Amino acid sequence: MIDLIEKARKTHSLEKDEITALLRDSGSTADLLAAADEVRSLFVGPAVHLRALIEFSNYCRNNCCYCGIRRDNRQAQRYRLSVKDIIAHVDAAARAGYKTIVLQSGEDVYFTVDRLTRIIRAIKERDMAVTLSIGEKTYEEYKAYKQAGADRYLLRIETTDKALYHRLDPGMSWDNRLRCLTDLKRLGYETGSGSMVGLPGQSIDSIADDILFFKQMDIDMAGIGPFIPHAQTPLADARGRELTLSLKTMALTRLLLPDINIPATTAMEALDPNGRIIALQSGANVVMPNITAEEYRKKYELYPGKAGEGRAFVSERGRIESKITAIGRTIGQEKGFRGEFLKGK
């Protein structure tokens, strides 16, 4: 296993059977995570980029079996922020020193191209980077957001196992999700994808395929997190909660794509109070503090334990900063685009 880790560290390339061997082996976990930390340090440096996350609507037209805000969850209390309220959140984030806003929501048709482009332009007027995470759209919609100034887009492929995807995402098409990612790349977005780890029916083989998919697509960001079952979904009784396997998947992604942005995901923090710091020491270099007002944040419950992360209010940015500096890292002062660190060297 040590030889395989060395190979990945030096060549940033592994065969599928080598990835599955590392994912299956428990004895080499610490070495794997340490190698990812070293590669992170060499290719993206010590800075942790903080992106302010605004969850602006939990209305969703989709019915993903794993997700707490799925359309058929009648117990979810739906909310959407007004354009004015979203911009008020942006102003608060700017005052707190954030350089990037991440706008995330369910697939809410209320947010037309006109409303979204107004919000994007307002953020650009404040000289901040904009990341969108609002699901599957047409090429024309993606183009309109780009022209309004959007910089990045996050759309997880969720799993590259097509049959599993179609079981878990009824009414959706894996090919369309791939089409979206291809369109986003073509339009010049910094394109992020990612996956959930520990889905019922997901094999180690398919997790290796996910990692190779990120490499083959040359994605710019990878959000990888454990699947956590939500009581009001069809997967309520599934096991999930695979923190170590998620960390290993993230670490292998860092080894194969050394210069990309990798967030320490909230779902990792939901499973371990120190989850994001562990992730930052295992290949991650981004944190997305949730700055959504508390009354809404509780309602954006994709999985249990997520709102508990609500300690990261705008005003508490200092608390996160001190946790990051305590592990010898710095806070990114730039917008944190891919390749920024290597260019500055």
107 binds ligand SAM (CB under 6 A): yes
CB of 98 to ligand SAM, least distance (A): 20
Taking CB under 6 A as the criterion, the residue among 156, 215, 254, 276 binding ligand SAM is 156
Q: Are 237 and 279 in contact (CB under 8 A)?
A: no
Residue pair 266/307 in contact by the 8 Å Cβ criterion: no
Binding test (CB under 6 A) with ligand SAM, winner from 18, 31, 151, 158? 158
Q: Does 106 help bind ligand SAM (rule: CB under 6 A)? A: yes
User: What residues from 252 to 271 belong to the interface with ligand SAM (CB under 6 A)?
Assistant: 267
Minimum gap (Å) between residue 268 Cβ and ligand SAM: 10
* Dihedrals phi, psi of 52, to nearest 5 degrees: -80, 120
Residues between 16 and 75 that touch ligand SAM (CB under 6 A): 66-67
* CB-based contacts of 221, cutoff 8 Å, min separation 6: 152, 154, 190, 191, 192, 193, 194, 260, 261, 262, 263, 286, 338
The C-alpha atoms of residue 54 and residue 293 are separated, in whole angstroms, by 9
Separation in Å, CA 111 to CA 81, 108, 117, 133, 199: 10, 6, 10, 13, 30
> 65 vs 77, 231, 235, 254, CA distance in Å?
18, 11, 6, 29
Which residue in 133, 193, 253, 290 binds ligand SAM (CB under 6 A)? Answer: 133
The answer to whether residue 155 forms part of the interface with ligand SAM (CB under 6 A) is: yes
Q: Interacting stretch for ligand SAM, rule CB under 6 A, among 112-120, 150-158, 274-282, 290-298?
A: 150-158
How many residues appear in the chain? 345
Residue with smaller CB distance to ligand SAM, 223 or 258: 223
Least distance CB 136 / ligand SAM (angstroms): 7
Using the rule CB under 6 A, give the single segment among 11-19, 129-137, 210-218, 244-252 that binds ligand SAM.
129-137
Binding mask 301-330 for ligand SAM (x = CB under 6 A): -xx---------------------------
Complex with ligand SAM: residue 49 or 156, whichever CB lies closer: 156
DSSP sequence for 300-330: --SSTTSGGGGG--GGGHHHHHHHHHHTT-E
Contact between 267 and 24 (Cβ < 8 Å): no
Instruction: Count interface residues toward ligand SAM (CB under 6 A).
Output: 19
Cα separations in angstroms, 164 against 118, 135, 158, 252: 37, 19, 10, 22
CB of 180 to ligand SAM, least distance (A): 9
Smallest distance from ligand SAM to CB 164, Å:
13
**Selected binder of ligand SAM within 159, 190, 225, 307 (CB under 6 A):** 225
In angstroms, the Cα distances linking 194 to 178, 214, 231, 253 are 12, 8, 23, 10
Q: Considering the complex, state which of residue 134 and residue 314 has its C-beta at the smaller distance from ligand SAM.
A: 134
Which positions touch ligand SAM (CB under 6 A)? 66-67, 104, 106-107, 133-135, 155-156, 158, 196, 225, 227-228, 230, 267, 302-303
